[in-house]
Structure 1
Amino acid sequence: MGLKFLVVGAGAVGGYFGGRLLEAGEDVTFLVRSKRRKQLEQTGLVLESVKGDAKLDPPLIEKGEAGTFDVVLLSTKAYQLDNVLQDLSSFINEETAIIPLLNGIGHLDTLDDYFNKGAVLGGLCHIESTLTEEGHISHTSSGHRLTFGERNGDMSERVKRIAASFEKSNADVQTSIHISEAMWRKYLFITTLSGITTLFNSPVGPIRKSDEGRAFTHKLIDEIVTVMRHTDEPINNDFADKAWSQFLKLSDETKASMQKDKEKGLPVEADHIQGYLLRLAEKHKCSAPYLQAVYANLKVYEQFRRDVD
């Protein structure tokens, strides 16, 4: 008997990976708000992808409806998480596995407290996708990787069963016995990329070509790694070097999703991404002036949004 998947939201990430699962014939339902439900009922779930287009007719539910699921793919923005948790409660039981695909790390504590630590796997994804004005999911680069695993490093039976469900999907889905390390590596990279592109209001190219931009980026990476080393997490000696190498390999046009959200006047995840690290820095009495500059810029933007509203 196959697994029943619940994808929370049908946006750029959940809509893409959930859509690929549905396309492969798996049992997938999307938990959406009423506005998105009406849109999807009219248009279907449309994937416009360099890896192949798809138009799907997804099963949809809203909060308060009935159903229990084996696996939850959670890919909301961090600032939506508290509201989503209340919506989820009626759809899970003690056997449900939750795979969070949010940026950052702080959401793990929230999920562990609300459900139980054993229910929550580690997860992350690498994909450049966005939701168009028509509600289609536009996937514009060749990468579409989702990685998940047990946070204690076990290769459990539930991980094997979930991986088997993804085998025929048109997506690069991998398991990892080092998922915690992988999540911290991505956290370092996304904090850096979102920080520099929002601070300098620029894609990567001009930042990288500028001596000042390169120096700032290098110092920001080193500062973040220093803060991370004060945790008990697996922060290896090559963290900074690999993050710098990734930065050098990006295309000149690359922007973090946070920068794209900022350009659209949308909320940003400053408190969840940069703020979480600054709270760690304060706790362990670490100096973090570069991270503080990034965070201050984002908080000014948030204040601007409030003033406009």
Structure 2
Amino acid sequence: MRILVLGAGGVGGYFGGRLAEQGKQVDFLVRRGRKQQLERSGLSVKSLHGDFVITPSLITADSRVKPYDLILFSTKSYHLAAAIRDLKPFVGRQTLIVPLLNGMSHMDILKREYGEEKVLGGLCFIESTLNESGEVVQTSPVNRVVFGALHPEQEERCRQLQEYLNDEKNRFILSDHVEQEMWHKYLFITVLAGLTTLMRAPVGAIRESGFGSSLFQQLLSETAEIVKAVNAPISEDIVETTVNSIHALPYGMKSSMQRDMEKNQEIEARHIHGYLLTMAESNGIEAPLLRIIYENLLVYERLNARS
């Protein structure tokens, strides 16, 4: 199986690197600057599950190679349009695409651009980033990709993928309810990113503040009401289970959006929080806390653009 990983950052670099470490045939689609860096130093991963360095197989958007069997689509949402364009030459009739973006608004776009039969449901759970040297740093025990069929005709190939990809260091988990899991993660990310960026604090400090736990509950209630209005397949106890998950997080846990803001980098405000507010407005739902959080992120973006 020929696998293409979009990018070699915190997500793609980790999961693609682990697959290459296992001996799988993996190429990384990268920009020229990252390609030069990786050619000099290799792809280095620092992880709780074991450090490793590989010499990655690299291509760029103008490379001439055959289409791939599997593509791990691991870009940020603000690079989505460029990523779709760059990947098109590498997508063939039998290619399967596993999207690893946060949120949900990208799904219809990917289906429209590549065809519904090629796009699986997908999400990942990992806390990772690139350090100043370009190394992938993975900092929590959780490291898994969850994927699954969105149509019955994809089910057999998904079973084959599970058997081929899964490993004790690189967990690829086949789900029979992947769309629900994607929506559940969307709510989790919306709440965690929203409040850690609003408070500029890790999750533990917010939990221990006088009103912090109530804010988590309020934001989850607002977002759950919105996604229920669009008939998303979420569980009835999603608010309770997500609150419990947030209370179980380590004290120092930060959202990836918060880490991006600390580095003065771009953020996915419109893709995550803005998309939910659009759905709320379309259904006549008030979401005051979500609105405050989104405005906070927009202010950050405006100030960051001026600096």
Query: Matches of 2:173 and 2:152 in 1, distance apart?
Result: 14
1:156 partner amino acid: E
Question: What is the DSSP-based 3-state SS (H/G/I as helix, E as strand, rest coil) of the residue aligned with 1:96?
Answer: strand
Q: 1:64 aligns with which of 29, 45, 62?
A: 62
- Correspondence for 1:83: 82
What corresponds to 1:142 in structure 2? 141
Amino acid at match of 1:52: G
How far apart are the structure 2 equivalents of 1:233 and 1:204? 27
- 1:254-280 residue CA offsets vs partner (Å, 9 max, x unmatched): 110000000100000000000010000
Matches within 5 A, 1:286-305: 286-305=285-304
- Contact preservation (8 Å) 1:153, 1:177: no
SS of the residue 2:46 aligns to: strand
Q: Is the contact between residue 46 and residue 54 of structure 1 (CA under 8 Å) also seen in structure 2?
A: yes
Q: What is the match of residue 150 of structure 2?
A: 151
Query: CA shift at 1:151, angstroms?
Result: 1.9
Aligned match of 2:122: 123
Letter in structure 1 aligned against 2:46: E
Residue 231 of structure 1 deviates from its aligned partner by 1.2
User: 2:259 maps to what in 1?
Assistant: 260
More deviation, 293-302/66-75: 66-75
TM-score, reference length from structure 2:
0.97
CA-to-aligned-CA distance 1:187-236 (integer Å, 9 cap, x gap) = 00000000000001111122101122221111000000000101122122
Contact 1:5 1:27 in 2 (8 A): yes
After the TM superposition, which residues 129-208 of structure 1 pair with which residues of structure 2 at under 5 Å, given as runs?
Answer: 129-152=128-151, 156-168=155-167, 170-208=169-207
- For the residue of structure 2 that corresponds to 1:211, the secondary structure is coil
Q: Measured at CA, do residues 242 and 39 of structure 1 come closer, stay the same or move farther in structure 2, by a change above 3 Å?
A: same
2:46 maps to 1:42: no
1:113-141 Cα shifts (integer Å, max 9, x gaps): 11111111011111111111111101111
Corresponding residue SS for 1:233: coil
Residue in 1 that maps onto 2:210 = 211
SS in 1 for 2:68: coil
- Residues 2 and 26 in structure 2, CA contact (< 8 A), matched pair in contact too: yes
Q: Distance in 1 between matches of 2:152 and 2:244?
A: 26
| Alpha-carbon distance in 2 for matches of 1:109, 1:147 | 19
Cα offset, 1:168, TM superposition:
3.9
Aligned-pair identity (%): 42
Q: Secondary structure at the match of 2:26?
A: strand
Per-residue displacement from partner, 1:146-192 (whole Å, max 9, x unpaired)?
A: 11011246772211222122134621221001000000010000000
One-letter identity of the residue aligned with 2:23: G
* Unaligned segments of structure 1, at least 5 residues: none
Deviates more, 1:7-16 or 1:159-168: 159-168
Indicate the RMSD between aligned Cα atoms, in angstroms.
1.1
Native 8 Å contact 1:122 1:150 kept in 2: yes
Q: TM-score, normalised by structure 1?
A: 0.97
Q: Provide the rounded CA distance (Å) in 2 between the counterparts of 1:152 and 1:241.
A: 30
Structure 1's 110 and 30: CA in aligned 2 closer, same or farther, altered over 3 A? same
Mean Cα displacement is larger for which, 208-217 or 101-110?
208-217
Quick one: which amino acid aligns to residue 39 of structure 1? Q
**Aligned-partner residue type, residue 62 of structure 2:** G
* Contact 1:148/1:179 (<8 A) preserved: yes
Residues of 2 paired with 1:294 and 1:269: CA distance?
Answer: 13
- The one-letter code sitting in structure 1 at the alignment partner of 2:124 is C
Counterpart of 2:223?
A: 224
- AA in 1 matched with 2:161: I
Partner secondary structure for residue 39 of structure 1: helix
Runs of 4+ in 1 over 6 A off after TM superposition: none
- How many aligned positions are there? 306
SS at match of 2:211: helix
Distance 2:39 2:297 in 1: 36
